[in-house]
Amino acid sequence: MANLSVNINKIALLRNSRGANIPDVVQFAKDCERYGAQGITVHPRPDERHVRRSDVYALKDVVTTEFNIEGYPTPDFLKMVYEVKPHQCTLVPDAPGQLTSDHGWDTLQHQAYLKEVLSELRSKGIRSSLFIDPIYTQIEGAKTAGADRIEFYTGPYAHDYNSNNEVAIKAFKQAAIYCNEIGIGINAGHDLNLDNLKYFKQNIPNLLEVSIGHALVRDCLYIGLENTIQVYLRQLE
């Protein structure tokens, strides 16, 4: 079974819209774990439009499952990561004002810098993951740079799933086989939902973890948090 890590950015966005602490981001994370989620993901952006740096430090003291921090590796971001020491740090190639992550790393162009950052993460006992498109050369570059895992950017899969699921999954399935061959772990995330998640899991050998936020929060509005967590877990069995 692949693990479900719940991205709580959208809960923070909802809280920030009113300026108070409703909904409580920390309590939401605790409830996700209580209902069965195996991890909590946050992506604190420079403008703090959803998860804030203060949230990350607060979550450090309460998350009992896997804590995953995503972000672009600026010096201030890495300082926070080294202080919090999450179980996993997922590096994404986002520009500062980017609305959402929409592409993977060019691990060849940024090889030297990624090697430096990944080496430092490893020295501090933090597992690393790189946001990656399903391209052999980029995956090989992630392995060479020293990443423990890659996280497939699954936006294209989700976009094409309803028109032709076999075509949508093909590149990811082949890339996953290559990941297994070279010995790098596989995570996935972006636009995965209850419609396309099970098929993705069934076709990706040794999928370790998915990170889901936007769709999961949407489903909570319809069927409730506890039920939503359970339904997602069933798709990953």
Active site residues: 43, 70, 190
Cα dist from 214 to 7, 8, 54, 62, 78, whole Å: 8, 8, 21, 22, 25
Do residues 78 and 120 touch, judged by C-beta distance below 8 A?
Answer: yes
12: alpha, beta or left, given left = phi > 0 and alpha = psi -120 to 50?
Answer: alpha
Tell me the helices (H) and strands (E) count for the chain, helix number first.
11, 8
Helix axes 25-34, 225-235, angle to 10 degrees: 50
Query: Which two three-digit tokens encode residue 139?
Result: 């995956």
Query: Degrees (nearest 5) of the Cα angle 24, 85, 197?
Result: 65
Query: Degrees (nearest 5) of the Cα angle 85, 154, 101?
Result: 60
Query: Which two three-digit tokens encode residue 39?
Result: 């991890």
Closest CA to 33 of 237, 173, 233, 235: 233
